[in-house]
């Protein structure tokens, strides 16, 4: 064979060998190579829900709970809401709804493989001093306060005088029953009274109405027998002894103010923004037994510059001074 022809064949063989080696490197990576294929990278980086469509294999996906999930790694997740209702019952004497407790939200941990519970405080309206005092009264931690009206001037009904003043209560040898209440709201207030509660004595239906002193509840509500007496001024023909409708409480004298706190003076502080703005007895003027908040009680006592703590029963004083 001619030398020129040999050289041409050798060059062709060399070119073919080089091409085969390049193709082999592309199609068949060596065993020592650690670089993953594009398919493997796609599967590794894709979300779990799409991995099966890339690899052709089915990948089980754990069912998700219907909870509110917050994204930790920046990936958005499908929002859903989970509300846990709490029903804690507190043993309270006067019965008030228990406060709501903290709710919980579930948050996805990084990687999406686990769920972490995080305490999230509820957005609640801040409790003011008045509300805190009402809570204390309702839970039995201190006395509740009331205003009770009676007529100090003579008025004859069915041949009997219905007059009853603070002087009559002061002269009584034993606690007096506060009978004759025939209003459902006033009756319900008396049913809430407890031994040791305090009340203002209010002179009503007279020339100069107002608060004249204080008294203490010494016996809780019982049946008002005057409702069944046809001869009594406060007889109620619809009353059924099998299902008594009306009740009374027993009170005792504590003190008489040196100076009456007149209705006109109280009304000055009941205007918009006044400390007595929400006082039940001034908003519902025909109510004979009404609630008084601790804040209202202290303010009214301050108008006459008196303190009734020393006059209260010894059994109740520790709770007042605590």
- Tell me: the pLDDT tens digits for 177-236? 999 999 999 999 999 999 999 999 999 999 999 999 999 999 999 999 999 999 999 999
pLDDT of residue 3: 55
Q: Are 290 and 284 in contact (CB under 8 A)?
A: yes
CATH T-level topology, domain 142-312? ph1033 like fold (3.10.590)
Instruction: Report the 10 Å Cβ neighbour count for 192.
Output: 17
281, with CB counted inside 10 A (0-12, 13-18, 19+), is buried
Instruction: Let me know: does 318 contact 216? Beta carbons within 8 Å.
Output: no
Write out residues in the chain with pLDDT < 70, as ranges: 1-141, 305-322
Q: What is the pLDDT of residue 226?
A: 96
Chain-centroid distance, C-alpha 294: 19
CA distance 137 to 35: 75
Q: What b/e string do you get for 47-74 counting C-beta neighbours within 10 Å, with b at 16 or more? A: eeeebeeeeeeeeeeeeeeebbbeeeee
Q: Which residues contact 288 (CB under 8 A, 6 or more apart)?
A: 148, 149, 181, 183, 186, 204
Q: Are 203 and 210 in contact, with CB atoms under 8 Å apart?
A: yes
End-to-end CA distance of the chain: 125
CA distances from 158 to 51, 180, 236, 266 (A): 94, 14, 13, 34
* Lookup: tokens for 183: 């209003």
Q: What is the pLDDT of residue 89?
A: 44
């Amino acid at each position: 064979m001619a030398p020129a022809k040999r050289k041409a064949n050798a060059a062709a063989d060399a070119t073919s060998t080089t091409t085969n080696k390049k193709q082999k490197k592309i199609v068949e990576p060596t065993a020592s190579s650690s670089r993953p294929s594009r398919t493997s990278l796609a599967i590794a980086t894709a979300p779990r829900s799409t991995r099966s469509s890339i690899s052709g294999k089915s990948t089980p996906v754990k069912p998700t709970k219907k909870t509110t999930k917050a994204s930790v790694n920046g990936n958005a997740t499908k929002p859903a809401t989970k509300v846990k209702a709490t029903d804690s019952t507190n043993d309270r004497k006067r019965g008030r709804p228990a406060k709501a407790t903290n709710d919980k939200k579930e948050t996805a941990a990084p990687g999406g493989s686990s769920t972490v519970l995080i305490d999230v405080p509820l957005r609640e309206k801040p409790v003011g001093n008045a509300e805190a005092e009402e809570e204390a009264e309702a839970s039995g931690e201190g006395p509740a306060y009331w205003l009770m009206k009676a007529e100090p001037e003579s008025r004859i009904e069915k041949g009997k005088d219905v007059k009853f003043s603070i002087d009559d209560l002061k002269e009584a040898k034993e606690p007096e029953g506060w009978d004759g209440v025939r209003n459902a709201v006033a009756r319900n207030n008396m049913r809430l009274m407890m031994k040791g509660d305090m009340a203002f004595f209010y002179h009503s239906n007279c020339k100069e109405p107002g608060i004249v002193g204080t008294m203490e509840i010494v016996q809780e509500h019982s049946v008002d027998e005057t409702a069944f007496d046809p001869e009594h001024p406060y007889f109620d023909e619809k009353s059924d002894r099998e299902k008594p409708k009306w009740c009374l409480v027993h009170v005792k004298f504590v003190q008489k103010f040196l100076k009456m706190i007149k209705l006109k003076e109280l009304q000055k502080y009941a205007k918009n923004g006044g400390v007595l703005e929400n006082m039940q007895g001034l908003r519902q003027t025909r109510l004979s037994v009404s609630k008084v908040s601790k804040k209202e009680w202290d303010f009214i006592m301050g108008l006459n510059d008196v303190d009734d703590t020393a006059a209260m029963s010894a059994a109740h004083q520790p709770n007042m001074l605590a």
